[in-house]
Amino acid sequence: MNAPSSSVLDAVRSRLSVRAFLPEPVPPSLIRELLVQAARAPSGGNVQPWHIDVLAGEALAAFRQRMRERLAPGAEPEEPAYEIYPAALPEPWRSRRFRIGEALYARLRIPREDKAARLRWFANNFDFFGAPLALMCSVDRRMGPPQWSDLGMFLQTLMLLLRERGLDSCAQECWALYPRTVAGFLQWPGDRMIFCGMAIGRRDAAHPVNGLQSERAPLQEWARFHGC
Ligand SMILES: Cc1cc2nc3c(=O)[nH]c(=O)nc-3n(C[C@H](O)[C@H](O)[C@H](O)COP(=O)(O)O)c2cc1C
């Protein structure tokens, strides 16, 4: 479903993580408008803890270049901003994570043994999958889990609004692996930390990766009904 959505349900159903984009630019005025609308997302105490940096045009090109240098062979990794998953992810979450990874690489026809090819594909994250526009979402370090959940609500609201305008996105927590490079480039104050990036643009419908349909666990695995 690539056409713009015309209802919330339609937007929810047609949103997926897009990992190959067309080069068509996204008008900056449209992103400004959608960010203002997304900020109608609720937040505990109306704290609105999100900070958003938008990257496009020359700034995005310069950032891409910085990342290419950062990822050059032999470069040292950075201390991640946070643990993206718990160190030993228990079941059933571990299997869910494994399955989506395998499904992704199956679509790309990259076998499990070909670690180098899997890593090369993963590195596309750091090119925002070719998207013409990107966001970095950050938060004050003093904020805790409730405010981080507010960030999620903001981001999902934005991703649905993007669908309404026929645009696509991929949230990217992989950027937490390069917090110093991101914060340095964007000149963040020291009390700011990255949550995630987001690639934004129009999906390349012909690319096999965008045909990936992620599964969802059935309702009975995660919901209980009391008195109803
Ligand atoms: C906060 C957040 C961070 C994510 N980070 C990445 C990422 O770094 N790279 C990536 O390819 N996908 C990333 N994803 C996409 C998830 O893998 C995806 O949402 C999940 O597999 C479900 O698929 P769907 O979005 O297509 O429904 C992220 C999603 C969220 C919500």
Instruction: Give tens-digit pLDDT for 43-92.
Output: 999 999 999 999 999 999 999 999 999 999 888 999 999 999 999 999 99
Domain boundaries, the chain: 8-72+128-213
Q: Which fold has domain 8-72+128-213?
A: NADH Oxidase (3.40.109)
pLDDT, one tens digit per residue, over 92-116 is 999 999 999 999 999 999 999 999 9
Ligand 1 centroid vs 147 CA: distance in angstroms?
20
95 ligand 1 Cβ < 6 A: no
* Residue 171 Cβ contacting ligand 1 at under 6 Å: yes
Report the nearest-CA residue for atom 23 of ligand 1.
214
- CA 68 – CA 77 distance, rounded (Å): 13
Kindly give the number of the ligand 1 atom that is closest to the alpha carbon of 16.
Answer: 26
By the 10 Å C-beta count (0-12 exposed, 13-18 middle, 19+ buried), 72 is classed as: exposed
Tokens of 21: 């984009």
Give the residue whose CA is nearest to atom 2 of ligand 1. Answer: 171
Helix (H, G, I), strand (E, B) or coil at 201: strand
